[in-house]
Amino acid sequence: MMNIDTALQINTFFTWQSVKPEQLIGTTAIVIDVLRATTSINAALANGAKTVIPCLDPEEAQKHKELQQSVILCGEINGYCIKGFDIGNSPLEYTKESIGNKTLALSTSNGTKALQAAVSADHILAGCINNAAATADSALAKGKDINIIASGTLGEISYDDILAAGIIINELLWLCPYYRLNDASLIAQTIAENTTDITEGLLLSEHGKLLKELSFLKDIEYAAKLNSCPTVAVYKDCSLTIE
């Protein structure tokens, strides 16, 4: 049995802006933007995308397109597909027919920025509800402290990301009950344990309500499908691929 004094730590951060690079050194980071960037990234890779390049803004994505014309431009501003881009940020758009064997340059309001903010970690995983169990298994195998980074929305806490963090934490604790949790992790875990309907839980969030108003309810329902995706997107060398 593991000694509690030597147990690994799970820290949760409620926005990517609250994380200092030095806090991630020597750890595994799990970045979450459940509505919708990390959900869409995993959907794209599961459906055959070659790689996904997270970009800070549309201009950075356009530069990748200039260097390689076959790159598919993807992303959103205020929930909608960026003007002139090929695909938005809906996981339902990332079909085998649209992105199979393609390189995607993705720019979103929160998630792609959060991924780039995690570069000082030893390992970076893109987590969501769809791949919660697979993400937990992969993170546990790294044998390092885990920092879960909820992307948030424009610097503000997002209930949807905290709920997803709690679901992944519960998957980690099911695999290994000896993790120590910081207070933010305890909050996320408590929210997850008290959520009986994940779709309804996501719809409680401000971002969930906004997406519903923008007619993206099906995206929320997709994002709520627990452990429907067996793959884990890994961020390394400025791009995301399947582990």
* Every domain of the chain and the residues it spans: 8-237
Predicted pLDDT of residue 3: 47
Look up the pTM and report it.
0.96
5 CB neighbour count, 10 Å cutoff:
6
Predicted pLDDT of residue 79: 93
Predicted pLDDT of residue 58: 97
- Amino acid type, 156: E
Query: Tokens 């998630």 sit at which residue?
Result: 111
Q: Residues 42-57: pLDDT tens digits?
A: 999 999 999 999 999 9
CA 90 to chain centre: 14
Q: Residues 49-88: pLDDT tens digits?
A: 999 999 999 999 999 999 999 999 999 999 999 999 999 9
- Amino acid type, 161: D
Q: What's the topology of domain 8-237? A: putative 2-phosphosulfolactate phosphatase (3.90.1560)
Q: Is the peptide bond before 180 cis (omega within 30 degrees of 0)?
A: no
pLDDT means over runs of 10, the chain (243 residues): 65 97 98 98 98 97 97 96 97 97 97 97 98 98 98 96 98 96 98 98 97 98 98 97 92
- Are 58 and 77 in contact, with CB atoms under 8 Å apart? yes
Predicted pLDDT of residue 176: 95
Predicted pLDDT of residue 57: 96
The three-state DSSP-derived secondary structure of the chain is: CCCHHHCCEEEEECCHHHCCHHHHCCCEEEEECCCCHHHHHHHHHHCCCCEEEEECCHHHHHHHHHHCCCCEEEEEECCEECCCCCECCCHHHCCHHHHCCCEEEEECCCHHHHHHHCCCCCEEEEECCCCHHHHHHHHHHHCCCEEEEECCECCECCHHHHHHHHHHHHHHHHHCCCCEECHHHHHHHHHHHCCCCHHHHHHHCHHHHHHHHCCCHHHHHHHCCCCCCCCCEEEECCEEEEC
Predicted pLDDT of residue 6: 59
